[in-house]
Amino acid sequence: MEKMVIEGGKPLYGEIPISGAKNAALPLIAATLLAPGKHILRNVPDLRDTRTILKLLGELGAVWERDGSTLTIDCTDIVYAEVSYDLVKTMRASVLVLGPLIARFGRAKVSLPGGCAIGERPINFHISGFERFGVECRLQQGYVEAVIDGRLRGSSVYFDIPSVTGTENILMAAVLAEGKTVIKNAAREPEVGNLIDMLVGMGAEIEGKGSDSLVVTGVSALKAAEIDIIPDRIETGTYLIAVGAAGGEVLVKNCNPLHLPALLEKLRAAGLEIKTFADSIQALAPVGKKDWLKSVDIKTMPYPGYPTDLQAQFMALMALGSSICVFNETIFENRFMHVAELRRMGAKIRTDGSSAVVTGTGDEGLCGARVMATDLRASSSLVVAGLAASGRTEISRIYHLERGYENLAEKLGRVGARIWKEDE
C-alpha cells in the first residue's frame, strides 16, 4: 500500500504532457473483440484500468503487445468465455465487452458489476438495449447471460439518461446487427466519438457522431482497426484546476481544448487566465493570496455540460476562495465522498443530498493533513487541495488515483510541486 505525500504552497511552472484518455481506451480496447486480426491502438495510457481490461481480453484469448503507448491486439483466436466477478469487481467498465461478445458470438456471460463508491450505477439501460436487438438476457447468480439465435436485429434504442458506456455497448452491438439501429438520447462525450471513429475505420456505418441521435446500418463483418486514442480531458482539467489552486503558469500539452467547453468557462469566471492553442492550454494564476479567486457555482451535466469527473477537483479549488458557491451533482447520487476529507484540511463545505455549499476559507487557506482516497476523482481533489495547503498532506489508498492518472507525481514534480509516493 502506498501513500502520496505533498508539501504544499509551491507554485507550478512549466509544461505538463497529457496522456491518452482512460475513458476512451477502455471501450476502444473492448471494441477490438469485434473483428479478427491485428488491431493497432496508439496513445494508450498505461493505467491500472487499462491493464485490467487487457487482462480480461487475454482471458478471452486475445494476444496483445505494448510498445510505449502503442498497443497491438490480435483478436483472431478469441474463445467464448465468461467474464468473472473477480475481474468485474475491480473495474465495472469490464461490462463494455458485453456488446462486442454478443455481436461476434451471439452470446456472452459477464458478471454484473456490484455497487460503487459514487453511486448505485445499474446497467439496466445496457440490458434493455440488447433486448431490443432480440437478445435474451437472464440474470443468474450475479451474472448476465445474454444469448441470441442468429444475428442481432437492428432496432431503436432510447436512453432515459444519456449513458456513456450504455451508448458505447449498444453501438458495438449494432454495428454487426442486421438492418438499421437508431440510438436516441445517446451520450455525446468525446470518448463516444473516438469509438465511432474506430468502428467506422473498421468498416462500420454510423451517422450522427457528436449528436444525441446515432443511426447505425449493420454490416456482416468488420476489419482490424488502426486508431489514435484522444487526449484525456479529465486529466487535462485536473492539472488546469491545480494551477488555480497552487498558482503559477503551466502549459498543458497534447490535449484538446475543444473537449473542455464548460470547464474553461468556469476557470475564466473564477479568475484564471486561460489561453487555448490547437493542442495545448496555458493557465496562469497569481501566486500567494487567493483574493483574486472568485466563487463559481457548478452543476454537473452530461457532455457538453460540466463533467461530473471534474466536480471534486473544482470543489477543492473553490474551498480556497473568499465567498460562497453551490455545487449540484446531477449524475451520481453519492459523489461527495471527498467532502469529509477536504473538511479535515479546513474546508468549509455543507452538503444536503445532491447539493453542496462551499464557503471559501479566504486568508485562512487549507492546511495539510492525513486524508484518505475513496474513489478516483475524489483522490485527485485531495491532490489539488494538498498542492495549495500549508504544510504536509498524506493521501492514503492511492491505488484509486493510479486507476486513472499516468505518472501524476512525476508530471507535477516536473513543474515544481513537492510530491512523492511512499510506502504506507
Answer yes or no whether residue 261 interacts with ligand EPZ by CB under 6 A.
Answer: no
- Rounded to whole angstroms, the Cα distance separating 255 from 244 reads 18
Q: Write out the H or E segment, with its range, that includes residue 16.
A: strand 12-17
Give me the catalytic one of 116, 137, 255, 325.
Answer: 116
Q: Indicate the angle between helix axes 124-132 and 164-174, nearest 10 degrees.
A: 20
Q: Which is nearer to ligand EPZ, 295 or 379 (CB)?
A: 379
Q: Which is nearer to ligand EPZ, 11 or 166 (CB)?
A: 166
Q: Which is nearer to ligand EPZ, 145 or 178 (CB)?
A: 145
164, 216, 283, 369: which one binds ligand EPZ (CB under 6 A): 164
**Of the listed pieces 54-62, 136-144, 158-166, 405-413, which binds ligand EPZ according to CB under 6 A?**
158-166
Answer yes or no whether residue 163 interacts with ligand EPZ by CB under 6 A.
Answer: yes
18, 25, 26, 144: which one binds ligand EPZ (CB under 6 A): 26
CB 331, min distance to ligand EPZ, A: 5
- Rounded to whole angstroms, the Cα distance separating 403 from 19 reads 13
CB 123, min distance to ligand EPZ, A: 4
CA atoms within 13 A on the CB side of 151: 14
CB 300, min distance to ligand EPZ, A: 8
CB 163, min distance to ligand EPZ, A: 3
116 is catalytic: yes
CB 264, min distance to ligand EPZ, A: 18
**What are the two backbone dihedrals, phi and then psi, of residue 411, each rounded to the nearest 5 degrees?**
-65, -45
CB 408, min distance to ligand EPZ, A: 14
CB 161, min distance to ligand EPZ, A: 4
Cβ atoms 281, 255 nearer than 8 A = yes
417 secondary structure, DSSP code: -
Binding residue count for ligand EPZ, defined by CB under 6 A:
24
Interface map 379-408 toward ligand EPZ (x if CB under 6 A): -------------------------x----
Residue 227 identity: I
**What are the two backbone dihedrals, phi and then psi, of residue 379, each rounded to the nearest 5 degrees?**
-65, -35
19, 23, 94, 393: which one binds ligand EPZ (CB under 6 A): 23
Beta carbons within 10 angstroms of residue 116's beta carbon: 12
How many residues are given for the chain?
Answer: 424
Beta-bridge partner residues of 231? 20
CB 70, min distance to ligand EPZ, A: 21
Cβ atoms 174, 166 nearer than 8 A = no
| Cα dihedral 227→222→217→81 (10° resolution) | -100
Q: Of residues 323-352, which lie at the interface with ligand EPZ (CB under 6 A)?
A: 331-332
**Of the listed pieces 18-26, 133-141, 215-223, 411-419, which binds ligand EPZ according to CB under 6 A?**
18-26
Interface map 297-316 toward ligand EPZ (x if CB under 6 A): -----------xx-------
C-alpha gyration radius of the chain: 22
Beta-bridge partner residues of 144? 110, 139
| Cα dihedral 403→56→42→170 (10° resolution) | -100
CA atoms within 13 A on the CB side of 268: 11
Answer yes or no whether residue 231 interacts with ligand EPZ by CB under 6 A.
Answer: no
Q: Of residues 108-127, which lie at the interface with ligand EPZ (CB under 6 A)?
A: 119-126
Q: Which is nearer to ligand EPZ, 365 or 404 (CB)?
A: 404
- Rounded to whole angstroms, the Cα distance separating 298 from 330 reads 10
Which residues are CB-contacts of 200 (< 8 A; sequence separation ≥ 6)? 206
349, 376, 378, 383: which one binds ligand EPZ (CB under 6 A): 376
Residues that bind ligand EPZ (CB under 6 A): 22-23, 26, 93, 119-126, 161, 163-166, 308-309, 331-332, 376-377, 404
Give catalytic residue positions.
116
